[in-house]
C-alpha cells in the first residue's frame, strides 16, 4: 500500500498566489509536500502575469504550467489528461480574491485549500458553503493552528469529557509588527493587511483574532451564542483595527474572551489559550507548541509533551512525525491540515463522502463561522460593544 | 542614625484579626516586623474574646495587651504612656468589619494598615477617606502586589515616559481554590469570602480582580473612564461571583481588561499584567516576581531581574533587600508596603504631611477607587455589561 | 502554648559580623527574627570597634550590648542574668574568623549559627566538631539552600525510596559577578572572597561549589567515595579559583558532578540540581525555588509547587508560611534553617539531646564534610584531577 | 534563476536505510526534500531485500529503483543516464554499516549525507576522510543540531569575537528512554543502539554525547587538547555505557564538559549548551530552539528569537524559513544541513571546490573528530578517567 491509499500516488498541487514577496505561498507549498504525499506541479503565482512566470522556477514549476491566473489555470489543467491534472488548488492570495479563486476551483471539481479569513465578506463565505454542499468536494480552510498535535489532544480530551463541563475559554493572539505604520513604508504584507479593499472590514480581528476564536471552537466544541466586542485603531492614520477584545457567551453558559493585538512591542505570534472545565484546565501557547499544561486541583501540574507518552490520545499521535524532545513547529502543524485534507480527497476517490460539516480539518463551514465572527465583532464594536448573536454552521 | 529616623526607634504594632485559622494576620505581622523597624505588641486577634486571648501567645503578645476587640484596644492603648503605646493598627479581619475597625483607629490618631477591599461598601470607603483627609493620618491599604520591586520599576519607567503613550493594559488574576464548594466544607477562608454578609457585593471580583485593577492603575497612572463587566457564578449554589471579565476604557483612549477567576483548576495566585506603550511593552507575573520582560520591536527581549543591575531605577533598588538571583517573594513585597507606610509615619513625626492622595503605598483613596471599581463592575454586570463610569480619587 | 515551647519565649540573638557593607549579616538577622521567635539584642558587628558601635543602631541593638568583638560579647553576656542573656550567636564574619568566633561561642555554652564554609581549613573544622560532640550544644551551619521547602520535599521523597536507587546527581552553581577583577575596585565582598588569607584555599569552590555539593548530599543522603576536580582561575591576577568542575563517585555507584563558576556573564545565583533515580528524576533551581520538576518515563512531567497540594510531604509543609502561588524566597528558606535550630535549642532546654550528626538543619558535621570536600577538590586539582577520597561525618 | 543554481533543477536522492521501523530514514527524506530542492527517487531501504522492496511505496520510490543494497544501488544508478541518476546518497543505517555504504557511494562519485557517528570505529573514519580528500566530493555528516538557526547565530557571534575569549563550554544531552532494558523487549531502536556489534564501542556517548561535543566545537571553534572521561552503565546487563561525563581541556585554556545520559526519567532530547566568554555568555536548549539567551554583566538578559530582528546575523537569517514566533523545529534544522550540502554540490558543479575541512555543514573531518572523541572517551574511562589527547581535523 502506497501513499494516499487507495490512490497510491502523490497528489498534484496547483498554487494560486505565493509569488515573490509572499510568505504564505511558500508555507502552503512546503506544508503540502512535507510528507511526500503531494507535489507542486502548477501555479498562478501572482496577479501580475510577468511576476507569475518569473516566480515559477523558485517552486520548480515548469513554464508550461505557470499560469497567468486562476482562469487560465483551470482551463489548461482541465484540458490535461487526468493522470497529469492537478488534484487540488491552494489559495494563498490576499483576502479579497479568495472567493473568486476558491469558487472557480471548487466548481471546476478541484479540492481547495483556502487561506483564512476565507473570504472578503460573509455573503461570499455563505455562497462558498452552498457550493461545497452541492459539489461535496473537499474544502479546507487553513486555520492552521488546529494542526498542532497538542491542540488536537486538547480537543480529544475535552470531547471525551476529561475536563468536565467547560466554563471558560480565554484566548489571546498578540503581535507587535504593526506597532508602526509599516504599511506606509512599502512593506507588502503590511500594505494589504491594513487595506480595507483587500483585507475586508477588519484588520487585526480578521487576521488573527479569528484564529484565536477558531482555536477555542475547535478545542472545545462549544456553541457560541452572543458576542460583545471593542475594537481600536491605535496607530494614527490606519484604516482598520489593530487591537481589540471580544467577549463571547456560549450556549452552555461558558464565558469566552478573545483579545488580539498587532501593536504590542516585541510580540511575535503569541497565540495562547486557557480552558477551564469543571474537572480540569488546559493551557497552550503556539510559540511553545510542543508542550501543554493540564491542571487539576490538588495534583501537581502535568506537562504534556508532543509524543511524550502513552497518556496522549490517537489524535495527537497521528499528527506527530518525530519522537518527543525533537521539536516540531508551524510547518509541521500546517502539514497536518494538508494531511487531513488529503485523507478526505483519498476517501472521496474511494466513494466515501464524509459529513462535510464535521472534519478534522477546518472546513468551509468553519470558514463561514470565522466570517460571521468578524462581521459581528465589527458591528458590535460600532454599536458601543452591544451584544450581537453569533451563529455556527460547522459541527465543532 | 537609627531605624525609622527621626524617631530612632521601632514602631509598635497593634494587630486586629489574625487569630487562629487566619492567613493574612500572620502575613501582616511578619511583613511589618521583617526589617526590624516594628514590633508587634498588642492585638485584638479575634471577634471571639476567648480565641483572641488564646491566639496571643502565638504572636508573643503579652496577656495584658491581648484585647477583646478594637474598642478595648483603643481605650487601653490610649491609656498607656506614649512611649509604650502602639503607633499603628493593622486590620486583618474579614471585609465587613474593616470599616468599623479602621475608622476607630484612624479617629483615635493611630496610623492604619487596612487589608483590601478596604470596606464593605463604597459609602463606607468614602467616609473613611473623609476622615483621613481631616485627620491627615497615615492610612495604608494593603494592595500588597504594588510592593514588588519590579512592579515599582514598571511604574517608574512608565511615568518617566520610557514606554511612550500607554495603549493597552491586560491583567488577569486566576485562581482555582474555589472550584468546588469549599465553603460548604467548613473551610473558614472560603466561608467568609463567599458570604455576601461578610465579603460585600462581590466575590472573586472583590477579592482578586480589585488587585489586578489596582496593579494596572499603580503601574501606569492611567485615569479610568468607563467599565463594562460580565460576572459569573459557575459553582452552583454560590452566592457571589467566582469569575468575570471587565473592560476598562481609560481617558487617554487606552483599553484595559481585567479577568479574574477562582474556578480555574490548579491555578494558584496567577496575577499577570501586560502593558503596551507606543515605545515598548512590559510583562510581569506575580508567581515569578523577580523577573520582568521588557520588549521593543527590533530588539531582543530584555529580561529585567530584581537587583539585576544598574539598568534598574531607584524605586526598585529601594525595595530590594538581597542581591539578584536570591529570590524575594510575597512577604518581602508586603513588607515594602509597610516600609513605605513607616516612612510616612516618621515623616509626619517630623511634621511633614505629604500629599495623602499620592504616596508610594496604596492609600485610602486607592481604597475608595477599589470600592468604586467593585461597585460599578457588579452594577454593569447586572445591566448586561452596560458601560458605567469609573472615577478616581487617588493620584496615580 | 507559646512560641519556642517549652521555653515559651523568644530566643535572644547575638550577631557577630554584619557591620556596614555586609550582606550576610542582615540576612542572618532577618532570617532569625522572621517568625517572631527570636530577637536580636546583642552584637559584635565589626572587627573595627568604631564600625561595630556605629552599625548597632541599624539593627536596633542598644549601645550597651554593641560589643567590640566576640571576646567582649561572651564576657559581658555571661555576666548578664540568664533571662537577659543571649541564647545563640550568629557568625557572619569572613571565613578566616569563623573558627575563633564559633569556638568561643560554643565553648561558652551558646548555640551557634555559623556561616559556611564553616572554617578556614579542615583541621579547624574537625576541632569544632570535637567541641560540639563534647558540649552537645546546638551548632548550625547555614547551608541555607537546604531550607527551601521543595528541597526538603526532595529529601523526603528520596529517603522514602520514591525515586528508587539514585544513579546520578548533577549540580551547578553559576554566577557572573567576579567576571572582572572586582576585588581591585574596592568592593568589600569581592575583596575577602578572593583573598586566600581570609577565604581559605579555595575561591569559587569554597564559596559556592560547597553549597552545590552539600545540596546533593542533603537531598539524596548518598555517601561519597572519591572525587576528581579541575579548578581554574580565569581572571588574570586572581589568587583563587573562579571556576571548576568536580566529579564525585558515591559508594553506591552513583556518579555526581559539581560545577561552579563566578565568571559566567549575567548569571546570578543559578544553583541547579538534577537527580536521577531508577524510578524517577527530580530537577530544582534555586532562582525559581517554588517549583520542582518530577519526571517518570511514560508519564507527563509533574510540576510540584511549594504549598501546592496534598501530594507534598510533611517536611515541605512544615517549612512553608504562605499558600501556594504567593512565592517564598531566600530569606524564608534561611529562616527555616534558623527555625530548625530553634527547635533543637528548645528540645535541649527540655533535656532532649538529639543525635547531633543527624538533624534537619545542616550541622557541624556537614560543616566538616564541606571543608573536606573543599580540601580534597583543591588537592585533586593540584594533582591533575587525580582521584582522592572523600569522607563523611554527618548522617545524611 | 531556479533552485540549486547553477544546476537549475532538483537534486536526486538515494536513501540507504530507512525501512519500516526506522525513524531516521524518514527524517532524512523529509529534510532533504523540505525546500523542494531535492526529490527522493531511489533507495536501498533495508538490509533485508524483501523489506527493502516493501518499504519503497511508503517513500513513493518506484519499484525499479528500490534496490536490495548499496551495491545494487550504485551499479544500477551508474548505469542510468546522468539526467536520471541520483546526485547523492543518504546513509541512514545502523552505525556498523555506515562505512561500507558511505565509502562505496563516495568512491562512485556521489555526494554523501551520512548519519553520525560516522563509522563503527576511528580507523574507518580516517579512511573515509582520506577518500574524500582524494575525490574532493561533498561529504556531509548529519550532526543535525548545527543546523538550528540560533546555533549558527552563536557561531557567528563567537567567531566575530562578540563573546571575547571563550573560557568555558558546558553541554549536556539528557535522555530517559533507555532507563529500562528496552532492548530486551524487541524495540528495534534500542536493540541496535545498545549492541556493540552494531553501535561500536560506545552507547550513550557514541549516540548523543558526540552531538553535544560537536555542538560546542561548531559554536566556538575551540581546539581540543585533552579529555578525561567517566562512563557508567546503570541498567544491569547492558553491554554499553548509558551515562557519562567528559571533561575537555581546550588549547586556549578553556574548560569544557560534556554530560550525556539515557537513563534520566522523563527526559526527551534535552541537549543544552552554555558558553562563557570574557565579554558575554550564551545559553541554548535544543528542546526550545527558537530562543537563545545572551547575557552580559550589568545588562538585562537578552533573549534572541529565531527571525527576531536585525540583531541577528546573516547565518541565522539564511537558515530561517518563516517569521519569528512561528516555531521551526528539528526537521527544519536538519533540512538546513541538507541545504548547505546542496550548496556545495551546486558549487562543485560550477567547478568550485571549497576547502573541505571548513564548511557550514559538518563534514567528514567533523566525523573523524567525533570518532576520535568517542574512542578517547572510552579509553580514558577504562583508565580511571586518565587524561588522553584529542586531535582535530575539521577546521572549526
Residues D77 and D182 in one domain: no
Q: Is B352 within a domain?
A: no
Which pLDDT band, with edges at 50, 70 and 90, does A49 fall under?
confident
Q: Using the beta-carbon criterion (under 8 Å), do C36 and B34 form an inter-chain contact? A: no
Q: Using the beta-carbon criterion (under 8 Å), do D309 and B301 form an inter-chain contact? A: no
What average pLDDT does this structure show over A300-317?
96
Residues D292 and D156 in one domain: yes
pLDDT above 70 (res C127):
yes
Instruction: Please tell me if residue D54 touches chain A, with a CB cutoff of 8 Å.
Output: no
Residues C34 and C179 in one domain: no
pLDDT digits 0-9 by tens, B348-378: 988 887 777 889 999 999 999 999 999 999 9
Q: Is A350 within a domain?
A: no
Residues D107 and D232 in one domain: no
Longest dimension (CA), chain C: 65
pLDDT digits 0-9 by tens, C290-316: 999 999 999 999 999 999 999 999 999
Q: Which residues, including other chains, have CB under 8 Å from residue C254's CB and lie 6 or more apart?
A: C166, C167, C168, C169, C220, C222
What average pLDDT does this structure show over A321-340?
97
Longest dimension (CA), chain B: 65
- Output the pLDDT for position B3: 82
A371: cell is 466570517
- Best mutation target among A261, A297, A380 (most B Cβ atoms within 10 Å) is A297
Residues C245 and C374 in one domain: yes
Q: Using the beta-carbon criterion (under 8 Å), do A299 and C305 form an inter-chain contact? A: no
Q: Is A372 within a domain?
A: yes
Question: Nearest 5 degrees, angle CA D64-CA D70-CA D71?
Answer: 90
Query: Which residue stretches of chain A are H helix?
Result: 24-33, 49-55, 70-79, 98-107, 122-135, 149-159, 188-193, 196-199, 204, 210-220, 314-317, 330-349, 364-382
pLDDT digits 0-9 by tens, C236-279: 999 999 999 999 999 999 999 999 999 999 999 999 999 999 99
- Closest CB to D311 among B300, B305, B308: B300
Q: Is D220 within a domain?
A: yes
pLDDT digits 0-9 by tens, D263-285: 999 999 999 999 999 999 999 99
CA distance B293 to chain A (A): 10
* Contacts with D, C 347-376, CB within 8 Å: none
Q: How far apart are CA B324 and CA C234, in angstroms?
A: 23
Q: Using the beta-carbon criterion (under 8 Å), do C303 and A305 form an inter-chain contact? A: no
pLDDT digits 0-9 by tens, B174-226: 999 999 999 998 888 899 889 999 989 999 999 999 999 999 999 999 999 99
Q: Using the beta-carbon criterion (under 8 Å), do C289 and B2 form an inter-chain contact? A: no
Instruction: Please tell me if residue C325 touches chain B, with a CB cutoff of 8 Å.
Output: yes
Q: Is C120 within a domain?
A: yes
Cα–Cα distances in angstroms (integers) from residue A382 to residues A172, A230, A231, B339, D74, in the given order: 21, 8, 8, 48, 70
CB contacts of C157 in chain A (<8 Å) are: none
Highest mean pLDDT among C351-360, D109-118, D180-189: D109-118
- Output the pLDDT for position D1: 45
Q: What's the pTM?
A: 0.97
Q: What percent of chain C has pLDDT over 90?
A: 88
CB contacts of C279 in chain D (<8 Å) are: 265
Higher pLDDT, C350 or B329: B329
- Closest CB to A270 among D35, D268, D325: D325
CB contacts of A327 in chain D (<8 Å) are: 286-289, 327, 329-330
Q: How far apart are CA A342 and CA A338, in angstroms?
A: 6
Q: Is B103 within a domain?
A: yes
What average pLDDT does this structure show over D187-204?
91
**A contact chains, 3+ CB pairs < 8 A:** B, C, D
CB contacts of A267 in chain D (<8 Å) are: 325
Which pLDDT band, with edges at 50, 70 and 90, does A6 fall under?
confident
pLDDT digits 0-9 by tens, A58-107: 899 999 999 999 999 999 999 999 999 999 999 999 889 999 999 999 99
Q: Using the beta-carbon criterion (under 8 Å), do C295 and D263 form an inter-chain contact? A: no
Which pLDDT band, with edges at 50, 70 and 90, does B2 fall under?
low
- Output the pLDDT for position D283: 98
DSSP, res A363: B
Q: Using the beta-carbon criterion (under 8 Å), do C310 and A302 form an inter-chain contact? A: no
Residues C115 and C165 in one domain: no
CB contacts of C245 in chain D (<8 Å) are: 247, 255, 257
pLDDT above 70 (res C161):
yes
Which pLDDT band, with edges at 50, 70 and 90, does C1 fall under?
very low
Which pLDDT band, with edges at 50, 70 and 90, does B395 fall under?
confident
**DSSP code string of A134-201:** HH---EEE--GGGGSHHHHHHHHHHHTTTT-SEEEEEEEEE--TTSS-GGGGT-HHHHHHT-HHHH-S
Provide the 3-class DSSP secondary structure of residue D261.
Answer: strand
Residues B33 and B84 in one domain: yes
CB contacts of D10 in chain A (<8 Å) are: 60
Q: Which residue has the cell 492603648?
A: B77
Residues C287 and C379 in one domain: yes
Q: Is A327 within a domain?
A: no
Phi and psi at B283, nearest 5°, equal -145, 135
Q: Using the beta-carbon criterion (under 8 Å), do A311 and C305 form an inter-chain contact? A: no
Domain boundary among D87, D111, D145: D145
- Closest CB to D304 among B300, B304, B305: B300
- Output the pLDDT for position D2: 62
Residues C170 and C309 in one domain: yes
Domain hosting C133: range is: 11-145
Residues A181 and A256 in one domain: yes
Write the CATH number for A17: 3.40.50.720
- Closest CB to B266 among A168, A180, A297: A297
pLDDT digits 0-9 by tens, D345-384: 999 998 887 777 889 999 999 999 999 999 999 999 999 9
Domain boundary among C145, C171, C206: C145
Q: What percent of chain C has pLDDT over 70?
A: 99
Q: Using the beta-carbon criterion (under 8 Å), do B257 and A257 form an inter-chain contact? A: yes
Residues B165 and B130 in one domain: no
**D contact chains, 3+ CB pairs < 8 A:** A, B, C
pLDDT digits 0-9 by tens, B129-170: 999 999 999 999 999 999 999 999 999 999 999 999 999 999
Domain boundary among D82, D117, D145: D145
Mean pLDDT of chain C: 95
- Output the pLDDT for position A5: 84
Q: Using the beta-carbon criterion (under 8 Å), do B257 and A253 form an inter-chain contact? A: no
Closest CA to C39 of C21, C55, C62, C17: C62
Instruction: Please tell me if residue C281 touches chain D, with a CB cutoff of 8 Å.
Output: yes
- Output the pLDDT for position A2: 62
CA distance B343 to chain D (A): 30
Residues C58 and C191 in one domain: no
Write the CATH number for C223: 3.30.360.10
DSSP, res D38: E
- Output the pLDDT for position D187: 87
How many beta carbons lie within 10 A of that of residue A210, not counting itself?
27
- Output the pLDDT for position A160: 98
Q: Which uninterrupted H or E stretch holds B41?
A: strand B38-44
CB contacts of D309 in chain B (<8 Å) are: 297-300
pLDDT above 60 (res B1):
no
Tally the domains of chain C.
2
Cis peptide before D117 (omega within 30 of 0): yes
Q: Is C354 within a domain?
A: no
Q: Which residues, including other chains, have CB under 8 Å from residue B34's CB and lie 6 or more apart?
A: B331, B332, B335, B338, C30, C34, C331
Instruction: Please tell me if residue B97 touches chain C, with a CB cutoff of 8 Å.
Output: no
pLDDT above 60 (res A1):
no
- Closest CB to C298 among A301, A304, A310: A310
Q: What percent of chain B has pLDDT over 90?
A: 88
In chain A, which residue's Cα lies nearest the Cα of C294? Answer: A300
CA distance A34 to chain D (A): 6
Q: Using the beta-carbon criterion (under 8 Å), do B300 and D294 form an inter-chain contact? A: yes
CB contacts of D299 in chain C (<8 Å) are: 266
Q: What percent of chain A has pLDDT over 90?
A: 88
Q: What percent of chain A has pLDDT over 70?
A: 99
Q: Using the beta-carbon criterion (under 8 Å), do B34 and C35 form an inter-chain contact? A: no
Amino acid at each position: 500500500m502506497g501513499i494516499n491509499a487507495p490512490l497510491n500516488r502523490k497528489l498534484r498541487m496547483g498554487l494560486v498566489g505565493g509569488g515573490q514577496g509572499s510568505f504564505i505561498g511558500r508555507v502552503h507549498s512546503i506544508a503540502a509536500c512535507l510528507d511526500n504525499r503531494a507535489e507542486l506541479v502548477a501555479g498562478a503565482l501572482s496577479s501580475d502575469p510577468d511576476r507569475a512566470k518569473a516566480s515559477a522556477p523558485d517552486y520548480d514549476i515548469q513554464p508550461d504550467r505557470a499560469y497567468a491566473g486562476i482562469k487560465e489555470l483551470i482551463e489548461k489543467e482541465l484540458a490535461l489528461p487526468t493522470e497529469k491534472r492537478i488534484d487540488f488548488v491552494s489559495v494563498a492570495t490576499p483576502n479579497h480574491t479568495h472567493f473568486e479563486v476558491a469558487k472557480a476551483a471548487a466548481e471546476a471539481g478541484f479540492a481547495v485549500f483556502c487561506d483564512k479569513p476565507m473570504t472578503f465578506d460573509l455573503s461570499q463565505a455563505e455562497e462558498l458553503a452552498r457550493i461545497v454542499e452541492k459539489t461535496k468536494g473537499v474544502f479546507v480552510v487553513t486555520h492552521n493552528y488546529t494542526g498542532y498535535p497538542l491542540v488536537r489532544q486538547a480537543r480529544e480530551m475535552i470531547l471525551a469529557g476529561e475536563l468536565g463541563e467547560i466554563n471558560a475559554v480565554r484566548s489571546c493572539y498578540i503581535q507587535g509588527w504593526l506597532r508602526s505604520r509599516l504599511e506606509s513604508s512599502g512593506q507588502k504584507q503590511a500594505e494589504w493587511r491594513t487595506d480595507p479593499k483587500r483585507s475586508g472590514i477588519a484588520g487585526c480581528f480578521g487576521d488573527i483574532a479569528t484564529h484565536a476564536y477558531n482555536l477555542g471552537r475547535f478545542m472545545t466544541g462549544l456553541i457560541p451564542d452572543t458576542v460583545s466586542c471593542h475594537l481600536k485603531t491605535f496607530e494614527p492614520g490606519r484604516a482598520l483595527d489593530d487591537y481589540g477584545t471580544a467577549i463571547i457567551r456560549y450556549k452552555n453558559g461558558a464565558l469566552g474572551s478573545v483579545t488580539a493585538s498587532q501593536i504590542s512591542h516585541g510580540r511575535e505570534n503569541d497565540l495562547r489559550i486557557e480552558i477551564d472545565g469543571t474537572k480540569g484546565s488546559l493551557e497552550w501557547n503556539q510559540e511553545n507548541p510542543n508542550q501543554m499544561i493540564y491542571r487539576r486541583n490538588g495534583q501537581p501540574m502535568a506537562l504534556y509533551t508532543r509524543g511524550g507518552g502513552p497518556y496522549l490520545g490517537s489524535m495527537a499521535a497521528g499528527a506527530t512525525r518525530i519522537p518527543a524532545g525533537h521539536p516540531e513547529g508551524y510547518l509541521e502543524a500546517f502539514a497536518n491540515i494538508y494531511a487531513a485534507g488529503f485523507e478526505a480527497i483519498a476517501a472521496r476517490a474511494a466513494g466515501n463522502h464524509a459529513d462535510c460539516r464535521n472534519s478534522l480539518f477546518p472546513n468551509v463551514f468553519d470558514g463561514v463561522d470565522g466570517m460571521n465572527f468578524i462581521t459581528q465583532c465589527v458591528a458590535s464594536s460600532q454599536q458601543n460593544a452591544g451584544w450581537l448573536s453569533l451563529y455556527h454552521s460547522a459541527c465543532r
